[in-house]
Amino acid sequence: MSNLEVRVYYEDTDSGGVVYYANYLKFIERGRSEFLREMGFEQDQLIKHQGVVFAVKSLQAEYLLPARFNDLLRVHTEVKKSRRASLIFSQKIRDLKQNKVLFEAQVTVACLDVQNFKPRAIPSDILEKINGQ
């Protein structure tokens, strides 16, 4: 489980003054990156030493409430299910001031071989840490 704080900058908003819908996907991408980092795995090192990359296979998202310029958000990330070659993440973005969930997503991430981009088993050291948390 990981929690990442994100500040909404002007560049994150649309002409209506709210966070542009695609930017929520950027926020949760950062959340998954930080999740791996907190587990001790840097993505560039996974490519270099283990020959794997993680790629989004599918996602289901719900936009519940808008975030606005200068809001402080928390991106909550946790693995709901681990499989041999994929992880299913549950992610939520919460407004810290109002303590309300603004966005929820379930994201399936596939482990791919960096040489051919075909599915590959998640390295055992990663699975052990994820399953042991």
**Which of these is catalytic: 12, 14, 44, 113?**
14
| 124 CB neighbour count, 10 Å cutoff | 8
Residue 13 and residue 69 in contact, taking contact as beta carbons nearer than 8 Å:
yes
Q: Which of 108, 107, 112, 109 is nearest to 123 (CA)?
A: 112
Is 14 part of the annotated catalytic residue set? yes
Separation of alpha carbons 98 and 27, rounded Å: 18
Q: Which of 40, 17, 24 is nearest to 75 (CA)?
A: 24
Q: Which of 22, 97, 90, 100 is nearest to 65 (CA)?
A: 100
Separation of alpha carbons 104 and 48, rounded Å: 32
Active site residues: 14
